[in-house]
Amino acid sequence: MMSDLLMTINPGLFIIAAGMLCALVPLHSVRKTVMILAPIVAAYALFKGYSAGIGLAGEMTIAGIDLTTYRLDRLSLIWGYVFCFAGLLNGIFAFHEKAHISDASALIYTGAGLGAVMAGDLLTLFLFWELTAVSSVFLVWAGGPRAYAAGLRYLGMHVLSGVLLLAGAIMYQNYSGTFFFDGNEIGLGVPGGWLMMIGIGIKAGFPLLHTWIQDAYPKASVTGTVVLATFSTKMAIYALARGFAGEEILIYIGAVMTLFPVFFAVIENDLRKVLAYSLNNQLGFMVCGIGVGTAMAMNGVAGQVVLHVIFKALLFMSMGAVLHRVGTAKASELGGLFRTMPWTTMACLIGAASIAAFPMFAAFVTKAMIIAAVFEEHHYIVYLCLLFASAGVMEHSGIKVPYFAFFSHDSGKRPKEAPWNMLLAMGLASLFCIVLAWPWGGYQMLYNLMPMPEIAGEYVPYTVNHVITQLQLLFAAMFAFALLKRLGVYPPERRAQILDFDWLWRRPAVATLKWIDVMGARVEAYGGLTVKRGWSGIQRRLFAMFSPAGAMSQDAPSGIASVLTAAMLGLAIALLYFVG
């Protein structure tokens, strides 16, 4: 009976409880053991629950509101498995780190992300949604004093995301009478649909709403960036897949998301920031696939999420290992590290080949499903955009990151190899990047986990046409990189702050606030006495009219109290009218 009861509890709560325990446990070894075991226990709970056919569970009614706190189907299951695996990788990678707050925050963040993708209603989703923001900001602040302002901006964007999601959910509940989160009922055509999608879009890194990723991730701690890169954005992709599959506008939003990061990544010096832009690029493929909404597109999105979590974590781990040993991830200050960090170099190269979709490496077996689905739906311009973006990925993440970090010019730095636990985490991620793309049955294991495995089984990634086309695309990108370097026209690596759309609030917005502050001080200095005299006169007139002895109270003994009561009643009636 107890085991049956545990199977009906959202497994994200197990990991959150483990995170709260880590905040109280002083022993380093115990905390790290909990960090590694908690995701394994959650994954086992998912397996047992799905095997038992749980479906919907954790149903309760609070204040007349029906909640479904746990929904386990094929769409949520694949996200749940990869989130648990990411939690395991993070626990191993951070095993050497001795920080209560980072351990607790990472686990709570992991549990909140898992809880969100398992939520069956919008209110439960919102609660986990906001918990991811509150818990993860500590991982940004763990990066040091320079990360404090970035953490505040990060927190502000994520809280705004949650507010929009909640506002849209309430409007949808007023329309439908339920908070149940079902894509067959939700979309842009229902009240609150646009608010919910924009709120989700903030976390998904929609164009113009994306800059929190490049602002916060590179400033987080060595281990914090690896954790951050996994949950928030993929949780948002899940919410889009659950609630907005087939919305055509997402095709074009996704296409733009794949394109603009390519140009920023080419000129960026901070290699962790290059990977942050690459994250936006990969999210664009997923958003585009969700917009298409066909069975093959949705399978491609789910598979791409799994592999992206693994190879993106691998790339961030390799750059984290470099930062841990060298103290910088700036391309202008690195180079030649392959001499003393060969295993980290190999891990980075595997991650680079995986994200670039080389045959027999991760993304090769999933990204093409999305691109093919776009082509089959006759979105030919978007199809060409995705091909260009694929070549761009090869340039900035497939070539630039490993080249400038480990090869290029010799920086003269000879650091030690990464700690054993970092190597173990990178080795495990590297293994999965290869195994899940292996042509002799490996990729089929991934296809069997997809939301519609019967459709996925019809797609064959290893055809002569696909392999040759992909190799031509990749080698063309490699040739372009080599040619531009040879001609000396490739953008040089230099110490500089590359501003994105966040320029608007870093410069004009700050200048506007300073101007308002200065003008306020001047008004207070020169007009303060006049304002005070004017306000005093208004107060005297109000008292003369509404006081018990005033004109308005001659026939109404309650005076000002009755007026204020009537005003409040009118306001309440107006609010009830517009809200109800």
- Between 250 and 551, the more confident residue is 250
Q: Which domain holds residue 350?
A: 293-495
DSSP 440-458: TTHHHHHHTTSSSHHHHTT
Same domain? For 328 and 454 the reply is yes
Class of residue 567 by CB neighbours under 10 A (exposed 0-12, middle 13-18, buried 19+)? exposed
Confidence grade of residue 515 (pLDDT, cut at 50, 70, 90): confident
Same domain? For 439 and 563 the reply is no
Cβ neighbours around 485 below 10 Å, total: 13
CA distance 97 to 107: 14
Confidence grade of residue 556 (pLDDT, cut at 50, 70, 90): very low
Start-to-end CA distance of the chain, whole Å, equals 43
Determine the pLDDT at residue 79.
96
Question: Mean pLDDT lowest for which of 137-151, 269-283, 403-417, 517-531?
Answer: 517-531
Boundary-marking domain end, from 495, 512, 540: 495
Determine the pLDDT at residue 574.
45
> How large is the average pLDDT for residues 234-240?
96
Same domain? For 438 and 562 the reply is no
Determine the pLDDT at residue 278.
93
Residue 180 counted as domain residue: no
CA-angle at 571, arms to 567 and 576, nearest 5°: 150
Same domain? For 484 and 573 the reply is no
pTM of the predicted structure, to 2 decimals: 0.87
Determine the pLDDT at residue 367.
92
Note the pLDDT tens digit of each residue in 397-441. Answer: 889 999 999 998 888 899 999 999 999 999 999 999 999 999 988
Number of domains in the chain: 2
Residue 264 counted as domain residue: no
- Region of residue 488 (left: phi > 0; alpha: psi -120 to 50; beta: else): left
As given in the structure block, the two tokens for residue 169 are: 């959910």
Determine the pLDDT at residue 508.
75
Residue 43 counted as domain residue: no
Note the pLDDT tens digit of each residue in 335-384. Answer: 999 999 999 999 999 999 999 999 999 999 999 999 999 999 999 999 99
Same domain? For 434 and 570 the reply is no
> Does 564 score more than 50 pLDDT?
no
Q: How much of the chain exceeds pLDDT 90, in percent? A: 60
> How large is the average pLDDT for residues 213-227?
92
Question: Mean pLDDT lowest for which of 35-49, 56-70, 159-173?
Answer: 56-70
Question: For all residues of the chain together, what is the average pLDDT?
Answer: 86
Residue 254 counted as domain residue: no
Question: Mean pLDDT lowest for which of 224-228, 360-364, 567-571?
Answer: 567-571
- Between 509 and 137, the more confident residue is 137
Determine the pLDDT at residue 563.
45
Note the pLDDT tens digit of each residue in 281-307. Answer: 999 999 999 999 999 999 999 999 999
> How large is the average pLDDT for residues 189-201?
94
Confidence grade of residue 580 (pLDDT, cut at 50, 70, 90): very low
Tell me if 219 sits within 8 A of 160, measured CB to CB: no
Confidence grade of residue 457 (pLDDT, cut at 50, 70, 90): confident
CA distance 131 to 67: 18
Determine the pLDDT at residue 560.
44
Confidence grade of residue 311 (pLDDT, cut at 50, 70, 90): very high
Nearest CA among 346, 78, 149, 111 for reference residue 227:
111
Helix spans in 327-400 (H): 342-355, 367-376, 380-393
Determine the pLDDT at residue 531.
59
Determine the pLDDT at residue 397.
87
CA distance 402 to 63: 55
Same domain? For 444 and 320 the reply is yes
Same domain? For 532 and 481 the reply is no
Residue 282 counted as domain residue: no
- Region of residue 491 (left: phi > 0; alpha: psi -120 to 50; beta: else): beta
As given in the structure block, the two tokens for residue 8 are: 């009906």
Determine the pLDDT at residue 133.
94
Determine the pLDDT at residue 541.
66
Same domain? For 570 and 422 the reply is no
Residue 251 counted as domain residue: no
Residue 361 counted as domain residue: yes
> Does 271 score more than 90 pLDDT?
yes
> Does 498 score more than 90 pLDDT?
no
Note the pLDDT tens digit of each residue in 154-181. Answer: 999 999 999 999 999 999 999 988 899 8
As given in the structure block, the two tokens for residue 316 are: 């961030």
Residue 67 counted as domain residue: no
Q: How much of the chain exceeds pLDDT 70, in percent? A: 87
Same domain? For 370 and 490 the reply is yes
> How large is the average pLDDT for residues 262-268?
87
Same domain? For 337 and 482 the reply is yes
Task: Considering only CA atoms, give the Rg of the chain.
Answer: 27
Helix, strand and coil in the chain, % to nearest 5? 75, 5, 25
Question: Mean pLDDT lowest for which of 85-94, 115-124, 317-326, 558-567?
Answer: 558-567
Same domain? For 303 and 421 the reply is yes
Boundary-marking domain end, from 470, 495, 520: 495
Same domain? For 567 and 460 the reply is no
Distance between alpha carbon 152 and the CA centroid of its chain, in Å? 16
Boundary-marking domain end, from 440, 473, 495: 495
